[in-house]
Amino acid sequence: MTSSVPNICKSCSLHCDHDSFCARLTNDELIQLNEKSHSASMKRGDTLSGEALTQWPIVAVSSGVLSLQHLMADGRKSIAALYMQGDIIDLRGIANRNRCNLISLGNSEVCRLSPDIFERVASSNPNAQNSIWSNLRQQTFRAIDHSVDMSKKQALEKLASFIIECNYRETSTASGSVVTKIPVRRVDLAEYIGVQPETVSRCFKNLKDRGVLAFKNLSVVTIHDVALLQKIANGEK
């Protein structure tokens, strides 16, 4: 008799999205992982600290956005990475590195996965392993792009690059235009791309005035000219 999927997993995006890790598991594997893992709802500002991450270093994002915040010895902090729906954050060995926190930038749902079960499933299930590697590769590519953005690009170019990344990750089409969600507040976006919040607002206005995009509301934009937005992200070249 086939084991049934745990109720908590049935409506979870990590199980429903066929490309995600949990969707690649057998029912028995999903049950084993669920029994040793913990789901959690997080509000804006809720933190998974270094101590918590030492015990539960693998976190899967079901919804919302988490930021990886690095803390320097002199008290300065920065958002080093953003994680969104479907991402698996593997911070095993974090105790041997600089102190950092995972902070929710809004309402988020996460699953703190058992490292032992996660490793066992990844070793025995090729489909699950492929999903993990695919997700980690995407994170690596985003980290490379973000590093280049931070070191070489101007504020408008950085913002255009971020909107394009959001477009890749979550997109819908309406009347020939692309509708994209901006999943973080402008103050968080400013910290992520290394500018002041008022600079982010000016850059959004620039893109609006040039007809590149329009606002449906503060968190959703309609991109009228994806090619021009890409050109701006590349320094108008």
Angle at 172 between CA 182 and CA 181, to 5 degrees: 5
Both 98 and 13 in a single domain?
A: yes
Strand partners, 179: 172, 222
Element (H, E) at 175: none
Q: Which amino acid is at 102?
A: L
Domain harbouring 203, CATH code: 1.10.10.10
Residues 139 and 191 in one domain: no
126 and 15 in one domain?
yes
Query: Is residue 2, in this structure, part of any structural domain at all?
Result: no
- Determine, yes or no, domain membership for 184: yes
Long-range contacts of 113-116, Cβ-Cβ distance < 8 Å, separation of 24 or more = 113/33, 113/37, 113/56, 113/58, 113/59, 113/60, 113/88, 114/33, 114/36, 114/37, 114/58, 115/56, 115/57, 115/58, 116/36
Residue-level pLDDT, tens digit, the chain, 237 residues: 456 877 788 888 888 887 888 889 988 999 999 888 888 899 999 998 767 788 889 999 999 999 998 877 777 778 889 999 999 999 887 655 556 789 999 999 999 999 999 999 999 999 999 999 999 999 999 999 999 999 999 999 999 999 999 988 864 444 456 899 999 999 999 999 999 999 999 999 999 999 999 998 888 999 999 999 999 999 876
Q: Are residues 14 and 120 in the same domain?
A: yes
What's the domain range around 21?
Answer: 7-148
Break the chain down into helix, strand, coil percent, rounded to 5: 45, 25, 30
Dihedral in degrees, nearest 10, Cα atoms 29, 31, 37, 40 = 120
User: What pTM does this model have?
Assistant: 0.87
pLDDT at 176: 54
Contact 23/121 with Cβ under 8 angstroms?
A: no
Task: From 148, 178, 209, give the residue that closes a domain.
Answer: 148
Q: In terms of residues, how long is the chain?
A: 237
